[in-house]
Amino acid sequence: MCIAVFIWQAHPLYHFLLLQNRDEYHSRPTKPVSWWEECDILGGKDEIAGGTWLASSKEGRVAFLTNVLELHTLPGAKSRGDLPVMFLKSRKSPIEFAEELKKEGHQYNGFNLIVVDIASKSMVYISNRPKGQPISIQEVSPGIHVLSNAKLDSPWHKAQRLGLNFHEQLDKYGEGEIPLKEIIQKIMRDTVKADESLLPRICSLDWEFNLSSVFVEVETPLGLYGTRSTAALTVTASGEVNFYEMYLEKDTWKEHAINFRMKKLKERREI
């Protein structure tokens, strides 16, 4: 289902800093974060549907996605993982892309999508839920935000807990450099679950309870489901990008990092 916490245009060292857990069945084939051969995209890849949950490009664009928790889904829906790829391949601004998505947003199961253009300091949140209502489009304000499986900054237990813990870590390091690996261990591996009274009561209570922690791991009839990877993506004021990932491979946690410099910020600084 995924959960993400991020700070946008509100830190002296980072234009953007994101931490995200990706939840999925452990058996689903997945490629770790890497440069895609067919295009200038850096991200993980779902090897079944071909999309992604988080990716960036050298052009100064970022997109990330979470599913909306809902009881009934459309069996023939388009793959939500295509949405970040569509944005990264396009030349539309975040708001232009969002307006264009209005035409076909109903063809997907419930999603929360955030699209970012770092150079123009534009970040837009898009959702196709609640069902039957127009696509929701919102410019994201500077500050700290949490995206789980409801609306942006919804007061779910796991979202509030992650946001609070993230605030505490930022306060600890102030305006200095943030040690991402240390913070991941402290706040993204959190297995504390919600009290039953705090569950949203959309699906079965057992399922919601098992999904109510930041880090998820649950046995299901289809196999083990839960947090498959944790990513940290940072963009500095100079356009330096660090994409760090911890991921499961054959029941073993591995890690790697890829660094690059975004072209647009580089070009603007050189003018």
Instruction: State yes or no: pLDDT of 270 exceeds 60.
Output: no
Instruction: State yes or no: pLDDT of 10 exceeds 80.
Output: yes
Lowest mean pLDDT among 39-48, 128-137, 262-271: 262-271
| 44 touches 248 (CB < 8 A) | no
The predicted pLDDT at position 27 comes to 95
Instruction: State yes or no: pLDDT of 268 exceeds 70.
Output: no
Using 50, 70 and 90 to split pLDDT, how confident is the model at 39? Answer: confident
| 80 touches 34 (CB < 8 A) | no
Q: What is the DSSP string of 203-240?
A: S-HHHHHHT-SSS-EEEETTEEEEEEEEEEEEEETT-E
pLDDT in tens, 65-94: 999 999 889 889 999 999 999 999 999 999
Architecture of domain 3-270: 4-Layer Sandwich (3.60)
Instruction: State yes or no: pLDDT of 265 exceeds 80.
Output: no
The predicted pLDDT at position 269 comes to 40
Torsion sign, CA atoms 5, 125, 69, 50:
negative
Using 50, 70 and 90 to split pLDDT, how confident is the model at 267? Answer: very low
Q: What is the pTM of this model?
A: 0.95
Amino acid type, 64: F
Domain edges within the chain: 3-270
Amino acid type, 84: P
